C-alpha cells in the first residue's frame, strides 16, 4: 500500500491491517518451510507495509493524535 493510503486510515484500522499483514507473513514463512512459496517477493513487500504502518502509528502517538 502507498503511504498516502495508509495515512488516510484511522489508528484502529491501521492496527487491524498490521495484524493481518503479520499473519500473512507468518503464512509465507510457513510456506517457505514446506517449499511452496509462489512469490518470494511478497516477503519484502509485506515487511515494508508493516514498517510503514508502525511508523505512522508512532508518529501519531508522538503528536498525540490517536484517531486520525
Any idea what the CATH number is for the domain that residue 48 is in?
Answer: 1.10.287
**67 in a structural domain:** no
**17 in a structural domain:** yes
**56 in a structural domain:** yes
CA atoms within 13 A on the CB side of 41: 0
**66 in a structural domain:** no
For residue range 14-38, what is the model confidence (pLDDT) as tens digits? 999 999 999 999 999 999 999 888 8
pLDDT at 54 over 60: yes
What is the rounded distance in angstroms from the CA atom of residue 44 to the CA atom of residue 37? 13
- pLDDT (0 to 100) of residue 38: 86
- Residue 51 lies in domain: 3-61
**10 in a structural domain:** yes
**30 in a structural domain:** yes
Q: What is the pTM of this model?
A: 0.85
What is the rounded distance in angstroms from the CA atom of residue 60 to the CA atom of residue 58? 5
Q: What's the number of domains the chain is made of?
A: 1
What is the rounded distance in angstroms from the CA atom of residue 37 to the CA atom of residue 67? 37
- pLDDT (0 to 100) of residue 64: 83
Assess contact for 56 and 8: CB atoms under 8 A: no
Amino acid at each position: 500500500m502507498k503511504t498516502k493510503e495508509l495515512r488516510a486510515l484511522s489508528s484502529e484500522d491501521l492496527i487491524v491491517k498490521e495484524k493481518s499483514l503479520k499473519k500473512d507473513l507468518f503464512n509465507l514463512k510457513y510456506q517457505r518451510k514446506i517449499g511452496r512459496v509462489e512469490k518470494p517477493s511478497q516477503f519484502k513487500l509485506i515487511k515494508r507495509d508493516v514498517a510503514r504502518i508502525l511508523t505512522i502509528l508512532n508518529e501519531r502517538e508522538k503528536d498525540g493524535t490517536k484517531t486520525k
